[in-house]
């Protein structure tokens, strides 16, 4: 597996990370342990979790796996978690980016993971109640206390990313941003990607397969059924079937993706991962899987890089449809100039 530095830091990460939101929820402990071993054996080093995944059970499963593996595995793994949302035992009014909540969240995460520090601690999302100066102050203290090595953001907008980057400058290493980003969600490129790149933050995209859509398993003429996320709940979250299937662009993207995949002898999922893997600013793509078989398929993207022609085909099909201003041709023209 290839490795890159995480943003403008010296932290080396594998270009594919293992997301663990399913651990303890959609994957039992034995399968979760198997997937972590499978991932590490393939050369991966980033285990990415959060205090709210399966009510904290995801972190506990990771902690027990690392304890069984021994110190050499802990030294090899880049361990990342997140805090901000209401975790078990926390009232919603007490959740957020306050010092009180993040201190409590981090301490409980460390206990569940069985470690004295995490390599990367990410604020799971901005919230408007707590001043960003307070959140930044907590991250600075946590770094100085040795509880976290680096700080990161998740689900921040462009202006929020730029503000936190400015607050962090010279105080603590803010090195990453974790947004949703895939061939069906490219609006991230309008402000979030440029803000992250300008601030030296490496991108850690989540939902790289758009909730399974980019694997090609959903069909226009048949509502999903069976043991898939949308088969079990067709209206689930942002990937809801009716919402996405009603867009012609969804099917245009899937058609282009299938054509590139057939030309490469790869799966649609592998091509979608390869496209994202090489986008500007991306340090590591988070693989979210429920089974070892899914993980094996996704790991087939390791070493796959698309040609300029293949990338352009996917870019064209997936280009966000926007109004003239501020992200369309008229707005872009105001922000460019020629030198000839």
Angle at which helices 29-41 and 292-299 cross, to 10°:
20
pLDDT of residue 226: 66
Q: Per the structure block, which two tokens stand in for 86? A: 């209401």
Q: What is the pLDDT of residue 228?
A: 66
pLDDT string in tens for the chain (340-residue length): 999 999 999 999 999 999 999 999 999 999 999 999 999 999 999 999 999 999 999 999 999 999 999 888 889 999 999 999 988 777 888 889 999 999 999 999 999 999 999 999 999 999 999 999 999 999 999 999 999 999 999 999 999 999 999 999 999 999 999 999 999 999 999 999 999 999 999 999 999 999 999 999 888 877 767 666 666 666 667 777 888 888 999 999 999 999 999 999 999 999 999 999 999 999 999 999 999 999 999 999 999 999 999 999 999 999 999 999 999 999 999 998 889 8
CA end-to-end span of the chain:
43
Residue 220: per-residue pLDDT? 83
In whole angstroms, how far apart are CA 244 and each of 143, 215, 225, 316? 41, 14, 16, 18
Residue 272: how many CA atoms within 13 Å on its side-chain side? 33
DSSP string spanning 18-51? EE-TTBTTTB-HHHHHHHHHHHHHTT--EEE--T
Catalytic residues: 53
> Which structural domains are found in the chain, ordered by start?
3-221+268-306 (3.20.20.100)
Q: How far apart are CA 291 and CA 22, in angstroms?
A: 9
The answer to whether the pTM exceeds 0.75 is yes
């Amino acid at each position: 597996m290839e490795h890159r530095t995480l943003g403008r830091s010296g932290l080396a990460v594998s270009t594919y990370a293992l997301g663990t939101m399913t651990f303890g929820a959609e994957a039992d402990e034995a399968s979760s342990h198997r997937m972590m071993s499978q991932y590490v054996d393939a050369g991966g080093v980033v285990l990415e979790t959060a205090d709210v995944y399966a009510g904290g059970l995801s972190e506990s499963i990771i902690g027990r796996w690392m304890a069984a593996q021994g110190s050499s595995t802990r030294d090899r793994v880049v361990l990342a978690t997140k805090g901000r949302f209401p975790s078990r035992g926390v009232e919603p009014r007490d959740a957020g980016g306050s010092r009180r909540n993040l201190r409590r969240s981090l301490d409980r995460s460390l206990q569940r993971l069985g470690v004295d520090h995490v390599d990367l601690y990410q604020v799971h999302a901005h919230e408007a109640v707590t001043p960003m100066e307070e959140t930044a102050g907590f991250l600075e203290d946590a770094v100085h206390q040795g509880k976290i090595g680096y700080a990161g953001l998740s689900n921040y907008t462009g202006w929020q990313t730029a503000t936190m980057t400015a607050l962090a400058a010279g105080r603590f290493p803010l090195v990453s941003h974790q947004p949703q980003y895939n061939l069906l969600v490219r609006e991230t490129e309008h402000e979030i990607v440029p803000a992250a790149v300008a601030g030296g933050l490496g991108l850690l995209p989540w939902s790289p397969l758009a909730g399974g859509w980019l694997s090609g398993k959903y069909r226009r003429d048949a509502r999903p059924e069976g043991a898939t996320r949308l088969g079990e709940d067709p209206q689930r979250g942002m990937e809801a079937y009716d919402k996405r299937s009603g867009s012609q662009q969804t099917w245009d993207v899937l058609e282009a993706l299938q054509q590139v995949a057939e030309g490469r002898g790869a799966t649609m999922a592998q091509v979608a991962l390869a496209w994202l893997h090489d986008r500007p600013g991306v340090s590591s793509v988070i693989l979210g899987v429920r089974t070892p078989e899914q993980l094996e398929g996704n790991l087939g993207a390791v070493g796959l890089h698309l040609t300029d022609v293949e990338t352009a085909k996917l870019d064209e099909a997936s280009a966000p449809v926007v109004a003239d201003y501020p992200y369309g041709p008229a707005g872009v023209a105001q922000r460019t100039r020629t030198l000839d």
